[in-house]
Structure 1
Amino acid sequence: MDEGATGRRERGKAAKHARIAQAARELFAERGYEAVTTQQVADRADIAAGTLFRYASTKAELLLMVRNEEFAAAVTQGASDSESIGDPVQRVLALIAPVIRSGRGDDENLVAYQRELLFGPPDAPFRVAGLAIVARLEELIAGVLVGDRPVDDDATAAARAVFAVLHMEIAAPVVRPRTPGVASDALRRQIELIVAGHHARRGSH
């Protein structure tokens, strides 16, 4: 196959992927994750169901496809927003703030996304991609904790603890009242404790 034909094929695949993602995004926003079917997504994307499954094999993968893009964009935004902040607690909060804002008002879909991200099939391609975004976020948090020093196991463990409390903030919207898009007081206190604990441990070594 010549380069021109290969290029057309790749452009066609990219365009079809974009149509599928847009259709899924619209339907999840309109109806909520549980009410949407893969056939509805295929119909709105104007493709056959068999074609859809070549891009995302399950409804959960469709949700991961859509939300991964938004999650990655939020992490990139947080990295930029937090770059010039000196205080580590405020810097971590600035780093995760876009993640908290992303999708607020869309709690059903967010909870489903978090569930699939953490507990979905281990070989699902979009879950693997989502976990890579989690790893990037944790690396950024660990970098904040160590400053100019190399990231070590303690910083990695503390960063994972921050993500764990962030996950609960996102995935448990009915636990406590909160202002949409704003970190709760409980989350702030938890992050303060994690950062203080990491610094105390580092200072004792």
Structure 2
Amino acid sequence: MSKLSQSPSMITTDALARPGRRDRNMQDKHGRIFQAAAALFEAHGYAGVTTQAISERADVGAGTLFRYASSKDELLLMVLNQALRAALAQGAARARGLRDPVDIAVAMVAPILQLGGRHAENLAVYQRQLMFGAPGEKYRNEGLALLAGLEAAVAAGLLEQAGARGLPARPELARVASISIFGAAHLAVSRASTGAHPGHVPMDDLRAQVRQIVDGYFAGLATEGPA
């Protein structure tokens, strides 16, 4: 009996859940493209990689490649989104074991800077594309969503710490402080990729900036009195 002739009750949940051949082929090609792009960007940097090299390594045609990512920029976004997602998850896990609000905030945003340590050029291009890339591109939107989630998590951490100190909850102030912390991390990445301020360790400067922001946030809440 063919599947088409089976009644709905005879089609198992597993059969419905299993991807069809076309979906499996698409997943396989996407995986090969991702692995090829990740390996080449890691080995040669953004400027040293071409879409032709990626398609050849992935064993797909150029037309197929561009169905999964519209440009080399999108391919880099695809790769670094995944790296950033994993790094942010690790940072959040480390933050859960900390008590000092500065340590917590630094643990959450430090993965952005640490990615630059692996290949500063790639991260600089990633930043540029997130800021100035074409609106509506899939992987740019995914990256922006990751960073928006990071800002929200930092703000939530600040609110939790304020409550633990008996200070009033001011979500808008926490949101602004989280934006400032993310901005400090963004500038630290830019400095690392351009070589600005030689002799200064970007991570140390980031921690000092985060401390100023966090101290200012709590000082502002303290002037309003207890919660």
TM-score by length of 1: 0.90
Cα deviations by residue, 1:124-154 (Å, 9 ceiling, x for unpaired) = 1100000010011111111111116567111
Percent identity for Structure 1 against Structure 2? 41
> 1:183 offset after TM fit, Å?
5.1
Match of 1:196 among 182, 197, 215: 215
> 1:112 offset after TM fit, Å?
0.7
Letter aligned with residue 142 of structure 1: A
Distance 1:86 1:5 in 2: 45
Structure 2: stretches of 5+ with no match in the other structure: 5-15, 164-168
Q: Residue 53 of structure 2 aligns to a residue in which SS?
A: helix
Q: How many residues align?
A: 203
Match for residue 172 of structure 1?
A: 191
Q: Residue 172 of structure 1 aligns to a residue in which SS?
A: helix
Distance 1:131 1:195 in 2: 24
Match for residue 18 of structure 1?
A: 31
Superposition CA RMSD, Å? 2.2
Structure 1: stretches of 5+ with no match in the other structure: none
Q: Residue 113 of structure 1 aligns to a residue in which SS?
A: helix
Q: Residue 47 of structure 1 aligns to a residue in which SS?
A: coil
Q: Is the 8 A contact 1:138 1:160 kept in 2?
A: yes
Distance 1:31 1:114 in 2: 18
Instruction: Report whether the alignment pairs 1:34 with 2:47.
Output: yes
> 1:172 offset after TM fit, Å?
2.4
Larger Rg: 2
Question: Which aligned runs of 4 or more in structure 1 are off by greater than 4 angstroms?
Answer: 1-6, 148-151
Q: Residue 104 of structure 1 aligns to a residue in which SS?
A: helix
> 1:7 offset after TM fit, Å?
2.5
> 1:105 offset after TM fit, Å?
3.3
Distance 1:66 1:151 in 2: 36
TM-score by length of 2: 0.82
> 1:98 offset after TM fit, Å?
3.0
Cα deviations by residue, 1:50-96 (Å, 9 ceiling, x for unpaired) = 00011000110000000000101111111111102111001111222
Distance 1:166 1:103 in 2: 11
Letter aligned with residue 59 of structure 1: K
Cα deviations by residue, 1:176-200 (Å, 9 ceiling, x for unpaired) = 3479xx7532211110111011111
> 1:8 offset after TM fit, Å?
2.4
Q: Is the 8 A contact 1:63 1:113 kept in 2?
A: yes
